[in-house]
C-alpha cells in the first residue's frame, strides 16, 4: 500500500464518521525499530488523545535488503471523553521495509494534519547520525526522546548537542522530566542568597553512581553545551567511567 491508498482510506473513514468531532490539535509521528515499543508508544498517544485529539503516524522501520515496501493499518477510535464528547483519534500504522524510512518527510508529510504542531517521538536508542533521524527534523516542530534508552549515553548526548545546535526544532527528553525531583533537590542547596556566590567557584561536577541499567547509567549526564554548574555556563567535557560521571 502506498501513501495515495492510505490517504484514500482516511477519506473514507472521515466520510463514515460525518458529524463527529474531528478537530486535531497536533500530529504525532512515532519512530520505532521494535514492534513492542511501537505498540506501547501508540497506546500512550491513544490515551493522550482523549484530552488532545490528534492523528498518530506509527512508523515501524524494518531494515533489510531489497526494494522498499510499506504495509499500512488504519485505525479510528472515538472513546467518550471527559466532556461527554467522542473525539476521533486516527492512527496510521506503517511497517516500512528497505530504505524508504530514510526519507521521512516524503513518507509522512502528506499524511499529517496541516496547520498544527508536529511531534516526532523516537523510541529506543535513536540513530542520531543516521539519515532517517536527520530527515525527521525537517517535519518536527518538537522532537521527543528518552535518554534512559540511549545505548551509548555519553556519546549520544554529545551527538545530540551537535544536532540540536544547528536545528530550530525543540527537543524534549522524557528522562529529564523524570529527574525533576533530583534536580530540585540539588538546586535547593544554592537556594539561600549567601550560597549563590559559590556557584561561580564550581569548576567540575562529579556524580557517583553504583546503580545498574541504562536508565541509571546516564541519570546525571547533561548534554555538553547545554548548561554547566554555573547558570549560563557550559559543560565542556563529560567523562564517563565505572561508578559515575564527571564533567568540567
CA–CA dist 227, 157 (Å, integer): 13
Please report the pLDDT score of residue 215 as a whole number: 47
Q: What is the mean pLDDT of the chain?
A: 76
Asked whether the predicted pLDDT for residue 230 surpasses 50, the reply is no
Please report the pLDDT score of residue 171 as a whole number: 94
Here the cell at position 235 is: 559543560
Q: Rounded to a whole number, what is the distance in angstroms from the first to the last CA of the chain?
A: 52
29, 108 contact by CB (below 8 A): yes
Over residues 213-219, the mean pLDDT reads: 50
Asked whether the predicted pLDDT for residue 233 surpasses 70, the reply is no
User: 22-31, 73-82, 137-146, 184-193 — which is least confidently predicted?
Assistant: 73-82
Handedness of CA 43, 46, 51, 54 (dihedral sign): positive
User: What's the DSSP call for residue 63?
Assistant: -
Please report the pLDDT score of residue 131 as a whole number: 82
Q: What are 161-182's pLDDT values in tens digits?
A: 888 887 889 999 999 888 888 8
Over residues 170-195, the mean pLDDT reads: 86
CA–CA dist 207, 223 (Å, integer): 15
At residue 59, φ and ψ (nearest 5 deg) are: -110, 110
Q: What are 70-84's pLDDT values in tens digits?
A: 788 888 776 555 555
Please report the pLDDT score of residue 146 as a whole number: 94
Q: What are 69-121's pLDDT values in tens digits?
A: 778 888 877 655 555 556 667 888 988 887 766 666 677 888 888 889 999 99
Give the three-state DSSP class for 62: strand
Farthest CA pair distance, the chain: 66
Amino acid at each position: 500500500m502506498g501513501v495515495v491508498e492510505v490517504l484514500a482510506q482516511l477519506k473514507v473513514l472521515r466520510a463514515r464518521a460525518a458529524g463527529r468531532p474531528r478537530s486535531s490539535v497536533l500530529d504525532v509521528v512515532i519512530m520505532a525499530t521494535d514492534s513492542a515499543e511501537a505498540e506501547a508508544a501508540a497506546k500512550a498517544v491513544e490515551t493522550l488523545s482523549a484530552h488532545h485529539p490528534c492523528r498518530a503516524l506509527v512508523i515501524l522501520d524494518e531494515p533489510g535488503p531489497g526494494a522498499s515496501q510499506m504495509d499500512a493499518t488504519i485505525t479510528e477510535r472515538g472513546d467518550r471523553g471527559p466532556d461527554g464528547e467522542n473525539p476521533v483519534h486516527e492512527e496510521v500504522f506503517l511497517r516500512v521495509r528497505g530504505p524508504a524510512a530514510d526519507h521521512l518527510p516524503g513518507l509522512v508529510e502528506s499524511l499529517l494534519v496541516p496547520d498544527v504542531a508536529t511531534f516526532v517521538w523516537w523510541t529506543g536508542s535513536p540513530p542520531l547520525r543516521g539519515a532517517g533521524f536527520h530527515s525527521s527534523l525537517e517535519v518536527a516542530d518538537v522532537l521527543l526522546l528518552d535518554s534512559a534508552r540511549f545505548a551509548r549515553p555519553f556519546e549520544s548526548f554529545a551527538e545530540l548537542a551537535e544536532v540540536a545546535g544547528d536545528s530550530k526544532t525543540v527537543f524534549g527528553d522524557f528522562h529529564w522530566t523524570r529527574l525533576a525531583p533530583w534536580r530540585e533537590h540539588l538546586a535547593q542547596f544554592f537556594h539561600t542568597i549567601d550560597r549563590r556566590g559559590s556557584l561561580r567557584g564550581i569548576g567540575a561536577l562529579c556524580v557517583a553512581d553504583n546503580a545498574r541499567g541504562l536508565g541509571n547509567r546516564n541519570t546525571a549526564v547533561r548534554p555538553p553545551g547545554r548548561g554547566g554548574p554555573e547558570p549560563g555556563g557550559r559543560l565542556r567535557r563529560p567523562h564517563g567511567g565505572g561508578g559515575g560521571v564527571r564533567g568540567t
